[in-house]
Structure 1
């Protein structure tokens, strides 16, 4: 059975982690599927005081989607979204503005920009920047690319010839993400 992209990037669900009383995804994410439509930063209409009121018959998107904390074993327990103020997800943008938005890890702050200045956020970001997947941070107002680093990202986007020490890295990013620039 082929693995889905989220499992390939984050890994399978971590066996001893469950959502518990965390409902951040139900309140934060935009959902646009035939079964459920919900704007970003809007509480799902099916979310009640004890969680999902239609859990037994919830839409497929709710059955299949899990945040990065549920999938990435390297993320500490304290990184659960309702505890850390950070929601990690793999995002797919249908009409990306640049090659790094098509498929990317997004770390959303639920509590504003200041959370990104803390040691826990820095550790989380570093841990997610260890593969060839773009990583963005989003503070609710502004989205910033943090991986690849600026120099590499600018070379990938501009098409300019990279210096010798960055040639292999820039070529790898272009090979993997060039399809989104077409």
Structure 2
């Protein structure tokens, strides 16, 4: 079992039995992989990737057998949000040395090169589906990374440690309780 499997299931739910990767290989190119068994930089196709998918699927590394994008776990994401269809790769990220507590464990929505997901509204639909729980959501359009959830006011109080106004106290306290360990 990979070290983050229980966290992924707790935050996102189990793998949905009716969703399969199919022809999608976005993670095989987009993601950084650094394990003792296998490594590759982000944005570089895996050396095992062929025009028919994974060339070593039956014996692929453990990370490739146990990692699943958020589309495979979150039923509220539309079927069209599969990365190869939507142009968006949504993943749960674990940052060893986060710059702030909202980066330690978070959902990252990445726009893939050539995608029209912002213009066609898919990015908004995906963000609406994942910005509904106590998990930070970051959006990357290829040129910058932006915090989408929690909203700016809540994030400011969570990060600054300042006392929040009455209308935000409960929400800020919940975020601090869950993510303070990553600060």
TM-score range, shorter chain: over 0.9
Residue-by-residue CA offset, 1:63-101 (whole Å, 9 max, x unaligned): 000111111111111001011000110000000011100
Tell me which stretches of 4 or more aligned residues in structure 1 moved more than 6 Å.
none
Q: Check whether the contact 1:90–1:106 (CA below 8 A) recurs between aligned residues.
A: yes
Offset of 1:117 from its aligned partner?
4.9
User: Are positions 1:127 and 2:124 aligned together?
Assistant: no
Consecutive unaligned residues of structure 1, counting only runs of 5 or more, are none
Cα distance, 1:142 vs structure 2: 1.0
Deviations 1:22-57 (A, max 9, x none): 100001000000011100000000101111111111
**Aligned mates of 2:116, 2:24 — CA distance in 1:** 22
Between the aligned partners of 1:146 and 1:111, the Cα distance in structure 2 is 20
Determine the structure 1 residue equivalent to 2:146.
144
* Structure 1 partner of 2:78: 76
Alignment-derived partner of residue 9 in structure 1: 11
Aligned equivalent of 1:28: 30
State how 1:16-165 maps to structure 2 within 5 Å.
16-111=18-113, 115-165=117-167
Q: Aligned partners of 1:53 and 1:110: how far apart in 2? A: 23
> How many angstroms apart in 2 are the aligned matches of 1:112 and 1:41?
13
Distance 1:138 1:146, change over 3 A: same
CA deviations on 1:87-123 (whole Å, 9 max, x unpaired) are: 1100000000111000000001003686335422212
Shift in alpha-carbon separation, 1:114–1:53, aligned structure 2, 3 A? closer
TM-score (norm 2): 0.93
Name the CA distance, whole Å, in 2 between partners of 1:26 and 1:113: 17
Secondary structure class of the residue paired with 1:105: strand
> Partners in 2 of 1:102 and 1:117 — Cα distance?
30
TM-score, L = length of structure 1? 0.94
